[in-house]
Chain A
Amino acid sequence: DVKVTQSSRYLVKRTGEKVFLECVQDMDHENMFWYRQDPGLGLRLIYFSYDVKMKEKGDIPEGYSVSREKKERFSLILESASTNQTSMYLCAIRAGGYYNEQFFGPGTRLTVL
């Protein structure tokens, strides 16, 4: 079974703080993704990584950066958190093979005060 874990289930931060969200997979998958999930807006892709140190912007990268120093770990960084970044953040990996299925982590509910 594919296992995707996220470091925190709930997180509360203050405006201006630097925030790190961690995602870890237990297999050797190359593709990892960060989405944010908001009511009425669905899931929007922030960043993704297709290998160690390789990354590409998604649809809403502003205010975020990412880091992938090891294959199993993909970090989302909020350089200076703002209240409009209050959201549910979902990490996903794409398993290889014919079906291109993505597996998701449990999510991190971030509140920025």
Chain B
Amino acid sequence: AQRVTQPEKLLSVFKGAPVELKCNYSYSGSPELFWYVQYSRQRLQLLLRHISRESIKGFTADLNKGETSFHLKKPFAQEEDSAMYYCAPYRYGGATNKLIFGTGTLLAVQP
């Protein structure tokens, strides 16, 4: 069964410090992975997807198939990055594909 692990419930950093939110997955076949973010009092929204290899709001995530990881990184954290972050691979099979979410990491950026 596909599984996703986010080992940190809370990550607290100072403004300007580098950030790395960890995500490990177990998967058979070629995974399709996403990072979703939920800012305070806002709805959950897509941050980035590995397939497009993009940088959004300064965040990047590289799929490492050898380590089965998809860590989210940003070189210099900003206070507005404070939010809940979820790693989410796609689960294939059944009537339709569906996102399976990790337990989430709360990022708190201190001034």
Q: Is the CB of A104 within 8 A of B43?
A: yes
Q: Is the CB of B51 within 8 A of A104?
A: no
A34-55 CB mask vs B (1 if < 8 Å, else 0) is 0100001111110010100010
Return the contact of A104 from the options B44, B97, B103 (Cβ within 8 A): B44
B74 at the interface (CB under 8 A from A): no
Q: Quick one: given A33-B98, A54-B95, A56-B95, are A100 and B90 in contact (CB under 8 Å)?
A: yes
Q: Chain B residues near A61: list those with CB within 8 A.
A: none
Q: Quick one: given A54-B95, A105-B43, A107-B43, are A99 and B103 in contact (CB under 8 Å)?
A: no
Q: Is the CB of A56 within 8 A of B94?
A: yes
Q: Is the CB of A106 within 8 A of B43?
A: yes
B5: min CB distance to chain A, Å: 11
Q: Whose C-beta in chain B lies nearest to the C-beta of A105?
A: B43
The secondary structure that dominates the B interface is loop
A24 at the interface (CB under 8 A from B): no
A31 at the interface (CB under 8 A from B): yes
CA distance A33 to B101 in the complex (A): 13
Chain B residues with a Cβ closer than 8 Å to the other chain, count: 24
Q: Is the CB of B49 within 8 A of A99?
A: yes
Return the contact of A45 from the options B32, B86, B100 (Cβ within 8 A): B100
The secondary structure that dominates the A interface is strand
CA distance A31 to B99 in the complex (A): 12
Return the contact of B99 from the options A30, A54, A102 (Cβ within 8 A): A102
Q: Chain A residues near B49: list those with CB within 8 A.
A: 99, 101
Q: Chain B residues near A48: list those with CB within 8 A.
A: 95-96, 98
B40 at the interface (CB under 8 A from A): no
In this complex, the member of A30, A43, A99 whose beta carbon has the largest number of chain B beta carbons within 10 angstroms is A43
Q: Whose C-beta in chain B lies nearest to the C-beta of A44?
A: B101
Return the contact of B103 from the options A42, A94, A102 (Cβ within 8 A): A42
Which 7 residue pairs across A and B have the least CB separation, nearest first?
Answer: A43-B101, A42-B103, A104-B44, A50-B96, A50-B95, A42-B101, A42-B104
